[in-house]
């Protein structure tokens, strides 16, 4: 599975792995779970969706597992990760708006029960290697206080892949970009020696160590949220050279980052195989949101990108491989959502949801594991976000949509999936279809009209504040049929109003200049006792 020649700099680790022989673990009542999250990974950026992308390890896992082709996440990082960890919609945790920035006194609410906490109750060893992005202003917010035995990685939303430095961020704040420091930790200790090594290498090596050192008398939960392929666009040169034929610079580097991540996944699989754990392990792969198109990502042919509620922002690359998957090598088009991993993985682990707050996630494991089982999920609340403004351009002027449910259809944005229907209210966000840059094009060329002339005139600005799409007939969201199906619109607006009645207020505090790492050891760490 692993192309060793591509992973320059880690050859010694691979040699050591290949020469270690372990006896296969005894049949386990509880499977090991490896949950891999790619960051800002576009729908069109995996090899089995786009042959231009070199992802042999991901492709092999997906093609010998079950590909989830009607699977949804949230449009930005923190909300997806919060729903993954709690099984609860962000309208119920106060995380409806944006992401947690490193200057905020903010984190996943401390009264929420997390997936690793529940897995520990049934005997799992729990480890996180990679990105947290659920807040760290006080130590109780840290991964090792939220159910993980160990954490190796970073707290913030993004950082330099080599230096591991990140600067203070909060929209419009006078100190944004002013406080810059290391954000890389081994549990709560800073790892200064990480400076200079590409983070993907560090994560694959540490994840492999966690597996090789694991006591197989206990089940393992390894949460592996990669930094890849979030900006900044950085990759080792030998990966970039693999895409030298790609003229678009952003796309070239982004593609290199994808392949480096793919090799890292291959190395983790190699460790599982050498440890004798592969047959007893479930591997779940998901992205956290759609690709960022101006940072090299592609969601083609879906409309929109990261931070939008269009399909391109929320329809995800996802698959499950290994233990418990019957009739592998298939594709499922059943409806699944990122919040479903909480109850589904607890189910396969022999746990329960006792003590949690009411879940929005559903146990969909049987529908994943068995080809003839229908998903119990029939609808998804993508979000109700009263504070949304388009992050990379002004809001369009929307026409109010009269309704009897008290919904302000011009403010913020919301989206709801019910069966084949998807309803948008407000401004869904970046609203175009962005074809993948072709190998002979540059960023100065209008590649949409050059390569797809038949599609250039299909899009016209829609100033409707309510839009309805039949995703079975129109997965690219090109034809707003709200005026043709008023009874569907009415039913879905009522459902949105019902959800909104259960929402807690948005919790999004302002910045705190006391976050300055210079006041706290020179690196990013909790600053409130």
Report DSSP letters for 391-445, one per residue.
TTSPPP-PBP---SS---TTSSEEEEEETTEEEEEE--SS--B-PPPPTT--TTS
Q: How far apart, in whole angstroms, are the C-alpha atoms of residue 275 and residue 17? A: 9
Report DSSP letters for 222-273, one per residue.
EEEE--TTSSS----HHHHHTTTT--SHHHHHHHHHHHHHHHHHHHHHHHHH
Structure token digits, residue 518: 């210079």
Q: How far apart, in whole angstroms, are the C-alpha atoms of residue 501 and residue 507? A: 16
Q: What value does the CA radius of gyration of the chain take, rounded to a whole number of Å?
A: 22
User: Degrees (nearest 5) of the Cα angle 437, 440, 444?
Assistant: 65
Active site residues: 77, 133
Three-state SS annotation for 294-330? HHCCCCCCCECCCCCCCHHHHECCEEEEECCCCCCCE
Structure token digits, residue 27: 């049949």
Q: How many helices (H) and strands (E) does the chain have?
A: 12, 18
Neighbour tally for 191: CB within 10 Å: 18
Closest CA to 223 of 156, 169, 148: 148
Q: How far apart, in whole angstroms, are the C-alpha atoms of residue 214 and residue 393? A: 49
* 104: DSSP letter: B
Q: How far apart, in whole angstroms, are the C-alpha atoms of residue 339 and residue 208? A: 27
Q: How far apart, in whole angstroms, are the C-alpha atoms of residue 344 and residue 528? A: 35
Q: How far apart, in whole angstroms, are the C-alpha atoms of residue 277 and residue 193? A: 31
């Amino acid at each position: 599975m692993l192309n060793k020649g591509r992973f320059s700099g880690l050859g010694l680790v691979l040699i050591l792995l290949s020469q270690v022989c372990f006896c296969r673990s005894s049949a386990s009542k509880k499977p090991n779970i490896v949950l891999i999250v790619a960051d800002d990974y576009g729908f069109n950026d995996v090899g089995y969706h786009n042959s231009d992308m070199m992802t042999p390890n991901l492709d092999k896992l997906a093609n010998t597992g079950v590909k989830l082709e009607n699977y949804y996440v949230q449009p930005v990082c923190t909300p997806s990760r919060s729903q993954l960890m709690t099984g609860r919609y962000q309208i119920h945790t106060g995380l409806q708006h944006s992401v947690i920035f490193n200057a905020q006194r903010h984190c996943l609410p401390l009264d929420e029960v997390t997936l690793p906490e529940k897995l520990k109750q049934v005997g799992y060893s729990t480890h996180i290697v990679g990105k947290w992005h659920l807040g760290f202003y006080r130590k109780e917010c840290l991964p090792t206080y939220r159910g993980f035995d160990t954490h190796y990685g970073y707290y913030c939303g993004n950082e330099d892949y080599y230096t591991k430095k990140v600067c203070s961020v909060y929209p419009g704040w006078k100190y944004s970009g002013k406080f810059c420091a290391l954000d890389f930790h081994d549990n709560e200790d800073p790892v200064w020696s990480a400076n200079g090594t590409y983070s993907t290498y560090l994560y694959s090596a540490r994840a492999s160590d966690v597996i090789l050192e694991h006591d197989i008398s206990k089940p393992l939960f390894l949460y592996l949220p990669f930094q890849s392929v979030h900006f900044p666009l950085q990759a080792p040169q030998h990966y970039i050279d693999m895409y030298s034929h790609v003229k678009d610079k952003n796309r070239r580097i982004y593609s290199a980052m994808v392949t480096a991540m793919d090799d890292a996944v291959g190395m983790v699989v190699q460790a599982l195989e050498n440890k004798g754990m592969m047959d007893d392990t479930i591997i779940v792969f998901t992205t956290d949101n759609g690709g960022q198109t101006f940072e090299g990502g592609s969601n083609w042919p879906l409309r929109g990108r990261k931070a939008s509620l269009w399909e391109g922002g929320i329809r995800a690359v996802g698959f499950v491989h290994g233990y418990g998957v019957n009739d592998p090598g298939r594709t499922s088009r059943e409806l699944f959502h990122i919040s479903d991993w909480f109850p589904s993985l607890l189910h396969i682990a022999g746990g329960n949801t006792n003590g949690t707050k009411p879940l929005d996630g559903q146990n969909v494991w049987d529908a994943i594991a068995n080809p003839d089982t229908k998903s119990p999920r029939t609808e998804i609340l993508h979000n109700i976000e009263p504070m949304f403004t388009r992050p990379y351009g002004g809001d369009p002027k929307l026409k109010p949509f009269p309704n009897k449910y008290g919904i302000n259809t011009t403010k913020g944005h919301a989206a709801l999936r019910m069966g084949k229907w998807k309803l948008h209210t407000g401004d869904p966000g970046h609203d175009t279809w962005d074809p993948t840059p072709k190998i002979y094009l540059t960023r100065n060329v209008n590649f949409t009209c050059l390569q797809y002339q038949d599609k250039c005139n299909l899009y016209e600005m829609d100033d409707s504040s309510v839009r309805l799409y039949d995703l079975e007939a129109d997965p690219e969201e090109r034809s707003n049929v709200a005026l043709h199906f008023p009874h569907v619109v009415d039913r879905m607006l009522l459902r949105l109003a019902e959800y909104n009645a259960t929402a807690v207020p948005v919790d999004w505090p302002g910045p705190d200049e006391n976050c300055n790492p210079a006041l706290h050891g020179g690196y990013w760490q909790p600053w409130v006792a």
